[in-house]
Chains A and B, each alone.
Chain A
Amino acid sequence: MLDALTAALGVAALALAAWCGHAVWRDQPTKDWHFIGMAVVTLLALAQLVVGLVQLGRGEKPEQGTVLFVAYLLGAFAAVPAAGLLSLTERTKWGSVTVAAGAVVLAVLEVRLYDIWGSAGA
């Protein structure tokens, strides 16, 4: 369950990065549709946060430590909304660049989360 969410989030994050990259290429700021995309990714990250905490509550142990795991879960949850808020203050293509960068950061965090959780339980 958690691994599936992690993989889905990684793919969704890269898709969001590509989409915002497209907006950059067209010299456009982030628009409503982009924010809907960010909301979808953020909801997925929230689901991941909840599922991760529930699995911890059931007594499963992440391979590389609980504190690290929770820190990365929180970081993954915050990355895209933070970049989205920043892009609201900059209504040029540079706002789109920032969201794209935020999505790439999220994708990297997902790879790390996958390693941190390890084979503790799929």
Chain B
Amino acid sequence: MPDTTTASPEARKRLVSGPGLLLVWLYGVMVVGAVSRSAYQISTEFDRAPLAYSLSAAAALVYAFITYSLVRGGDRARRAALVCCGAELAGVLAVGTWTLIRPEAFPDATVWSDFGMGYLFIPVVLPVTGMLWLRAKR
């Protein structure tokens, strides 16, 4: 790929520039949202909806890892983040469909319920834009 003037080879390629900044911000918001939500729910009322809260915690981990990768930069982090965005998208689609088909399995909502409707659909839009951005940075 014709990458422009990557002069110093030891410097990691920055992923947080231009649109990447918005991406990191939104991922950061999702990390805070998902981590605090799952920590609060798991510590106070885990028995009410163990599946939903565990899924929220898993989502929080994925978000945290992608945010870290984006901030870190470099090609390995880029590829790792790309894989995680794919996993995230698969997770949102699977959990979103699951919550629509079997709502009785979820006494309480997860971050990914109804394709992330409670979060303005950011959970389903974010991995797609993330993958587009990471591919463009190759």
Contacts and interface: CB of A to CB of B under 8 A. Distances in A.
Contact of A86 (B18, B25, B40, B44): B25
Interface of B: 16-22, 24-26, 28-29, 32, 36, 40, 44, 120
The 3 A-B residue pairs whose C-beta atoms are closest, nearest first, are A90-B21, A98-B25, A94-B18
Given A105-B29, A108-B120, A97 B22 contact: yes
Nearest to B32: A75
Contacts, number: 41
B40 A102 contact: no
The interface residues of chain A, by DSSP majority, are classed as helix
Interface string A80-104: 0011001101101011011001100
User: Which of B16, B29, B36, B40 is the most central at the interface, judged by chain A CB atoms within 10 Å of its CB?
Assistant: B29
Interface in A65-122: 67-68, 71, 75, 79, 82-83, 86-87, 89-90, 92, 94-95, 97-98, 101-102, 105, 108
Contact of B25 (A67, A71, A83, A92): A83
14 contacts: A67-B40, A67-B44, A68-B40, A71-B36, A75-B32, A82-B25, A83-B25, A87-B21, A90-B16, A94-B18, A94-B20, A97-B19, A101-B22, A101-B25
